[in-house]
Structure 1
Amino acid sequence: MNNFKIKTQIYFGQGALERLEEVGNKKVFVVTDPFMVKSGMINNITEKLKSANITIFSDIVPDPPIELIVQGIEELQKVKPEVLIALGGGSSIDAAKAIMDFAKKITSVTDMEFIAIPTTSGTGSEVTSFSVITDKTKGTKYPLVSDDLLPDVAILDPELVKSVPGSITADTGMDVITHALEAYVSTNASDFSDALAEKALILSFKYLLRAYNNGEDIEAREKMHNASCLAGIAFNSASLGLNHGIAHVLGGKFHVPHGRTNALLLPYIVDFNADIVGYENNEFSRAAIKYANIAKLLGLPCSNARAGVRSIVNEIKKLQKEMNMPTTLKACGVSMEELEKLKEEIANSALLDACTATNPKIPTPLNVIEIIGKIKE
């Protein structure tokens, strides 16, 4: 027996932030990053919480470390909030999830409404039961997985992403595409997750470049925000694959932005999963057939599964080029000497990552090393 559920209430479109007016005069603890405060974006939230008693914890950094989570728990315990609001990208939302979850387990704070408000269109963290925290001493990212991490409410207001720089729009947008493609070919995929992944991909390939070229294009921003959320629900149900398994390790070791690492890997992961070599008489792998189905939905050349897979790979590479994204680890500032030294450790860690377990093709350490070799330089 299978199961599909959505816990989070989703408010979306222009004016979605008005949902915050329902908070009233409760005690509110906001988890965010320094830029949200410095840029004044936090005012979009506080203005809707006029009668609330607000405390802002704005120390969040990319790849939030364990020490920061501990600090957040201590601050939250002092406030004992009735509402927890996460404002920001994946790092802020992931940190808020971890702070909330551990606080409920080790402090006297046991109940609060959790509202997630993403300011980038990429992670889908506002609707997932995943959180990733970092042990910087070991250079390792630890995924937390629990339905207890799911926000009660997600607010997707496109006004909050209009000012996102082009490079971040590109990174986060490719993260959406990776989430949707990995969920689509996951061994845990279902009709329900497939429907969400398909729509996320249709929206992303139509609107990502528009959002990149013109941040003020409110339609493109809204559609990418929705696509991110749809992909998040898809992979929350179906999980992901080897792309994320490798990206988590590379990101932990070399601090390359997560979406950028995913984009580097994606064309080669699609090739690996499709496993076209050796298939004759149109007997293609399940993954190849599903990739080809996406090519058809996108209106790309797809005379057979082989052609469909090639079209998807070419379209991914085309997007990377049009958004001026680096296509090698060396271009991302990664030391080739360090990469060579750590490649076996990276491969073994990637295979142990929880995301890799649902990859459609079982990889070996040598497969991972070969894939990394293709994005080196």
Structure 2
Amino acid sequence: MKEISFRTNIFIGENSLDRLMKITSEKVFIVTDPFIEQSGMMKEVTNRLENKDNDYFIFSDIVPDPPIETVAAGVKAIQEFGPGIMIAIGGGSAIDAAKAMKDFSIKLSPHQQAIKFIAIPTTSGTGTEVTSFSVITDEVNQVKHPLVADSLLPDEAILDTTLVKSVPASVTADTGMDVLTHAIEAYVSTNANDFSDAFAEKAVQLIFDYLPRCYKDGNDLEAREKVHHASCLAGMAFNMVGLGVNHSIAHVCGAQFHIPHGRMNALLLTTVIEYNAEIQGFSAGGQSFAAKKYAQLAKIVGFPATNSRIGVNSLIKHINQLKKELHLPVNLRACGITKEKLLASIGKISEAALIDGCTPTNPRKPTTKDIESIVEKIL
């Protein structure tokens, strides 16, 4: 028996930020980054909290790939302020850090009041506003640690399209490919089911249809909205069933080589598909569980898929076309990573990827040699 539940209430559509105007007489702890704090986006939040007898504190020390030290500082600030509500506004880094801060704060002070958590994403990529995942970085050892617990799930998510229209094209490309990777990995997860498949299929369709439009014109609000929704749908899919080795490797390589998470996922995606499907250099097969699922996904999206091999190759072809449209790098060398630098780190990468929390639900059980082969192929 399996239980499927959705704890996060999602607010979408025009003026969805007005949900904040229902907050009255509360102490509100806001987690964000310096750019958001100084921009008009923060005013969109604070203006709705003012004149409602609310007291708020802004913690804005968030940096990309938030380190453990930042989380610790946030925990201390929470305990000193004593909020009843936490609002995280920003990209995945801000929301992930807020999740960890809230969780550790409650564990350290179990008798403190419950904190309601509202997530407001300003990028369309992580889906973290609806997941029980958080990724925190150990800067000393250059490793990203995924945290997984139901207590990390936000109580509410607000998807306001106006907050993502100013995202730069390069970030739109990186985060959009993260969405696609989330959806595809959830689709072939060993835990995949009809419900997760439905979310993943829709997310993939929306990304192929609307991500190029977002990239070309950030003011295309219809495209922005569709990609923002795709991010949330993909998050709901993988939160149910997990991810795979694409993310396992990306967590390690991203921390090791300082490559944005979505871009690292994009570099790996087609090679991981080839590996999981057991075709094109990894095996002469093509009839694996993953191959059939990839082909099924290709057919649903409208790509040629008269058999598994054609479907897998078709999906790979269209992903590569999408990456080209988004002007994404084609390999690690294009990101400034030399062969010498890769070889010096590949042992550490493979070891860490094997024990990453995303690996167990990958459709094919990888070995150290498999991980090394995947990484070497994207050099």
TM-score bracket relative to the smaller structure: over 0.9
Report the secondary structure of 2:328's partner residue.
Answer: coil
State how far apart, in whole Å, the 1-side matches of 2:201 and 2:4 are: 17
State how far apart, in whole Å, the 1-side matches of 2:132 and 2:58 are: 24
Give the aligned partner of residue 6 of structure 1.
6
Measured on the aligned residues, the alpha-carbon RMSD in Å equals 1.1
**Partner of residue 95 from structure 1, selected from 94, 97, 100:** 97
Tell me the TM-score normalized by structure 1.
0.97
State how far apart, in whole Å, the 2-side matches of 1:177 and 1:118 are: 17
State how far apart, in whole Å, the 1-side matches of 2:14 and 2:207 are: 19
Give the aligned partner of residue 278 of structure 1.
284
Report the secondary structure of 2:117's partner residue.
Answer: strand
**Partner of residue 189 from structure 1, selected from 187, 192, 197:** 192
- Stretches of structure 1 that go unaligned for 5 or more consecutive residues are none
Give the 5 Å matches for 1:1-377.
1-50=1-50, 51=52, 52-107=54-109, 109-276=112-279, 277-279=283-285, 284-376=287-379
State how far apart, in whole Å, the 1-side matches of 2:99 and 2:361 are: 24
State how far apart, in whole Å, the 1-side matches of 2:344 and 2:82 are: 47
Indicate if the aligned counterparts of 2:191 and 2:242 stay in contact, CA closer than 8 A. Answer: yes
Residue deviations 1:198-251 (CA, integer Å, cap 9, x gap): 111111111111111110011111111110001001000110000001000101
Tell me the TM-score normalized by structure 2.
0.96
State how far apart, in whole Å, the 2-side matches of 1:148 and 1:334 are: 38
Report the secondary structure of 1:163's partner residue.
Answer: coil
1:278 CA drift (Å): 2.7
State how far apart, in whole Å, the 2-side matches of 1:310 and 1:143 are: 31
- Stretches of structure 2 that go unaligned for 5 or more consecutive residues are none
Residue deviations 1:312-356 (CA, integer Å, cap 9, x gap): 101111111111111111212234322111111111111111101
Indicate if the aligned counterparts of 2:278 and 2:288 stay in contact, CA closer than 8 A. Answer: yes
1:285 CA drift (Å): 1.1
State how far apart, in whole Å, the 2-side matches of 1:36 and 1:227 are: 23
The share of aligned pairs that are identical, in percent, is: 55
Runs of 4+ in 1 over 3 A off after TM superposition: none
State how far apart, in whole Å, the 2-side matches of 1:291 and 1:13 are: 32
Report the secondary structure of 1:315's partner residue.
Answer: helix
Report the secondary structure of 2:118's partner residue.
Answer: strand
Report the secondary structure of 1:303's partner residue.
Answer: coil
State how far apart, in whole Å, the 2-side matches of 1:334 and 1:37 are: 34
Give the letter for the 1:81 counterpart.
Answer: P
Indicate if the aligned counterparts of 1:103 and 1:110 stay in contact, CA closer than 8 A. Answer: no
Report the secondary structure of 1:56's partner residue.
Answer: strand
State how far apart, in whole Å, the 2-side matches of 1:109 and 1:209 are: 46
Give the letter for the 1:119 counterpart.
Answer: T
1:41 CA drift (Å): 1.5
State how far apart, in whole Å, the 2-side matches of 1:41 and 1:162 are: 11
Report the secondary structure of 1:224's partner residue.
Answer: helix
Indicate if the aligned counterparts of 2:84 and 2:113 stay in contact, CA closer than 8 A. Answer: no
